[in-house]
Amino acid sequence: MNLKNFFPVSVWYGPHRSRAPMVAKIRSIQEVEKDIITIKSLGFNSIRFWYDWATAEPKPDEWDFSTIDTLLSIVDKLQIKAIVQVYTDSAPNWVERDYPDSLFVDRSGLVIHSQASPGYCSDHPQVRKHIETFLQKLAEVVASHESFYAWDIWSEPHIVQWSWIDYIKDPWFCYCKHSQKRFVEWLKKKYRTIDALNDAWYRKHASWEEVIAPRYVSLSSFRDLLDWIQFNIEKIAEDLRWKVATIKKVDGEHVVSSHAAISSVYGIPGIGYGASDDWKLSEMVDVWGTSFYPKHTGSWMPLKPHHMGVALDASRSSCESRGKPFWIGELQTGHGVTGMRFGEPVDEKDVERWAWLAVSRNAKGLNYYAWLPMSCGYEVSGFGLAEYDGSINERAISAGRVAKTITEKMEIFASAKPLAAEVAILYNIESHKALACLRAESAELIRKDMFGMYRAMMDMGVNVDFLHIGDLHSDLSKYKLILIPFSIALDEKSAEAIKKYVANGGTILADGRIAWMKEDGSLCEKIPGLGLHELFGCEELWMKELKKETNLVLKEKRLTVSACRYLSVYRVTSGTAIAFFQDKPVIVENNYFSGRAIMVGTLIGVGYEETGNTDNLELIRQLATERGVQRKYFVRVRSGDADSLEIRFSTLPSGEILVFVFNHTNSECCFDLSIPKNVFQRAFEEATCLNRTGSVAVESTPEFTVITDIAMDGGETLVFLLQ
Ligand SMILES: [Zn+2]
């Protein structure tokens, strides 16, 4: 899709204080115009509106697009572009009257009567038709406006959204008869005969009509549940494809995007309220993206710098692997509020730093959420760029400055590319699905393992891709090292691909119980299974839970790493044990043809996250360095605290370089930044700061380009163009 070399930096805006997905009638064009002129004058080059089905079709086949039409007419005159977010989950209530069998049904059998959301199940054929008509009529109105630039067809795709059904314990969706029918059709394609399904699920059904979607975990087998999870992952992706195709029938010209709530590597897909797999969803749209709320509410907020890196780089990878541009669909602007839970305060440096963090990960669109704080609902007073009364503050000015910088230098920011990744972290969605079946409450274990692994590379300035398990058959030779977090379920083809990568000279480090079971949940004959015991040169004897942190000494490497949560010990075959627990091997290295495999009998990333032991990171760094992964920069501190600096590089077609410098602490610092000349194979003479005025001095030594005397305030971000 041609993005027309435009890099949108927008802010979400609803007239008269309306919060998404609610739509207000326009009472005063002047008032709306004034708001939009204010937003434009701050520097934003676009604005993001929304429209919902409830407003569009208040009675069956009676249509009202007046608000969106008026908003776009205002913007047409103001020379600013518009993006339109579509909501079908905010649905008119006559749907329940006319199609009572279209209500979402929880696994307990409880039906969900829609309030302001979550609307109705689009597996119902009539609901589906109405949604199609809504999308196409909306497209006719919207696409005719000159200012219109792009669609976002689905915000944070889930089966049920914008409602938390607290009176049901752990709800799963959707078990209505139409969704179950769709599931059975899916099963028929997979198994072909009822006997084959009976064999797989351990059932005695006489016909397909008797098949019921699984609702819980039973002792005997969870192949049924794995099918249900996979069905829902694919269903959400197919529904996204359907929505995109429906819009494109009327408007084949404009960009159609969608964005996740958070990268799918963070969660368990396919059950609960139902999320999907970013790598599947990005296939369906012109542009894929994510929401990004580093100071949301919740126990794991605020996100630490490397947690932000994982969220952004995982989303970026899901886009790049499918050849799609990456946007931030929602970028936090203000205080996180969800009911009685409050996040950390957000300041003007946060809204700037988060934007540049995204740009440094190849984001080509930023959409700040939202202009005004939420005026009602359980996020009331949260998430606004301006003050409650609409007046401007430092955050609004700061976000506007980011927009201005990007707009003025659009050619640079639209064409910049992060340094190619030399290291990959495997996203094995089979393990996330298995966790659900093993009754884990979340994907925390895998997430934390990824966090620690990522941190090790981030500190070296080394870019990391998240490699989807389905992409293990692509060309992996660009990766010098592949890190495999807690990868408990694996299929044969993926195991073969991992072996092939190592045999051809690659290096892998795998944590915990790799290939404990196959992708259908059945136990492998050895652990590591699927022939991987040969790759790792060891076989697991047992795995136990650790009640407290345990130290593992790696004598030769002069490291003492922390083991947390789980510990596996091994019988060594062809490998070499390099760490022990009570004299039993825990970490084993093995040379396999031209490559090397390291089996770590604990969770090295989790160990770092839970203890802060940097030796856990050093183990990964040593391995990367041995494989020729080079540290991309060195910092020489002149004054202050430079411990939490993050430096990232992007290259431009001209050969020039963007250098993003993030100070993640609250204290100021001054330092020299040395970049080895062989990283870019060229010398540089000049560094211009793009987001502040002025330039800094550049010195050249035989081995390094040195940007000297960089002075930063706490929380500040600097973006240099190195020429
Ligand atoms: Zn349903």
CA 93 to ligand 1 center in whole angstroms: 16
CA 604 to ligand 1 center in whole angstroms: 41
CA 184 to ligand 1 center in whole angstroms: 13
CA 221 to ligand 1 center in whole angstroms: 25
Looking at the DSSP assignment, which residues form a beta bridge with residue 571? 539
Interacting residues of 563 by C-beta distance below 8 A, sequence separation 6+: 546, 549, 550, 551, 552, 581, 586, 601, 602, 603, 607
* 608-619 core/surface letters (b: 16 or more CB in 10 A; e: else): bbbbebbbbbbb
Give the orientation angle of helix 394-408 with respect to helix 29-42, to 10 degrees.
70
Domain 634-722, second-level architecture? Sandwich (2.60)
* 293-328 core/surface letters (b: 16 or more CB in 10 A; e: else): bbbbbeeebbbbbbbbbbbbbbbbbbbbbbebbbbb
pLDDT at residue 444 in the model: 95
CA 124 to ligand 1 center in whole angstroms: 7
Do the beta carbons of residue 577 and residue 606 sit within 8 Å? no
CA 224 to ligand 1 center in whole angstroms: 18
Domain 9-89+128-156+229-412, second-level architecture? Alpha-Beta Barrel (3.20)
In whole angstroms, give the CA distance from residue 577 to residue 685. 49
Do the beta carbons of residue 127 and residue 133 sit within 8 Å? no
3-class DSSP state of 50: strand
Where in the chain are the domains?
9-89+128-156+229-412, 423-626, 634-722
Residue 606, token pair as written in the block: 């989790």
- Which helix (H) or strand (E) covers residue 484, if one does? strand 481-484
CA 444 to ligand 1 center in whole angstroms: 29
User: Tokens 């299974």 map to which residue?
Assistant: 529
Residue 447's CB is within 10 A of a number of other CB atoms, namely 22
CA 562 to ligand 1 center in whole angstroms: 46
pLDDT at residue 55 in the model: 98
pLDDT at residue 716 in the model: 97
CA 275 to ligand 1 center in whole angstroms: 15
CA 110 to ligand 1 center in whole angstroms: 12
pLDDT at residue 2 in the model: 61
What CA–CA distances, in Å, run from 578 to 223, 374, 603? 37, 55, 16
> What is the side-by-side order of every strand in the sheet holding 595-600?
464-468, 423-427, 481-484, 507-511, 595-600, 584-592, 576-581
User: Tokens 């163009």 map to which residue?
Assistant: 721
Residue 464, token pair as written in the block: 């990391």
pLDDT at residue 3 in the model: 78
3-class DSSP state of 420: coil
3-class DSSP state of 433: helix
CA 277 to ligand 1 center in whole angstroms: 20
In whole angstroms, give the CA distance from residue 45 to residue 11. 9
Q: What residue type is 112 in one-letter code?
A: I
Do the beta carbons of residue 510 and residue 545 sit within 8 Å? no
Do the beta carbons of residue 330 and residue 367 sit within 8 Å? yes
Interacting residues of 722 by C-beta distance below 8 A, sequence separation 6+: 656, 657, 658, 659, 684, 686, 687, 698, 705, 707
Taken in order 680, 425, 366, 288, is the CA torsion positive or negative? positive
Residue 454, token pair as written in the block: 């990522």
Domain spanning 423-626: which CATH class is it, in words? alpha beta
Q: What are the average pLDDT values for consecutive 10-residue runs of the chain, which has 723 residues? A: 84 97 97 98 98 98 98 97 98 98 98 97 98 98 98 98 94 98 98 98 98 96 97 98 98 98 96 96 98 95 97 98 98 97 98 98 98 97 96 98 98 97 98 96 95 97 98 97 98 98 98 96 97 98 96 97 98 98 98 98 98 98 98 96 93 97 96 96 93 90 96 97 96
CA 120 to ligand 1 center in whole angstroms: 8
3-state helix, strand, coil in the chain (%, to 5): 35, 25, 40
* 629-651 core/surface letters (b: 16 or more CB in 10 A; e: else): beebbebeeeebebeebbbbbbb
pTM of the model as a whole? 0.98
Three-state SS letters, 304-338: CHHHHHHHHHHHHHHHHCCCCCEEEEEEECCCCEE
CA 176 to ligand 1 center in whole angstroms: 4
Q: What residue type is 194 in one-letter code?
A: I
Cα dihedral angle (390, 393, 396, 402), rounded to 10 degrees? 160
pLDDT at residue 299 in the model: 87
CA 117 to ligand 1 center in whole angstroms: 15
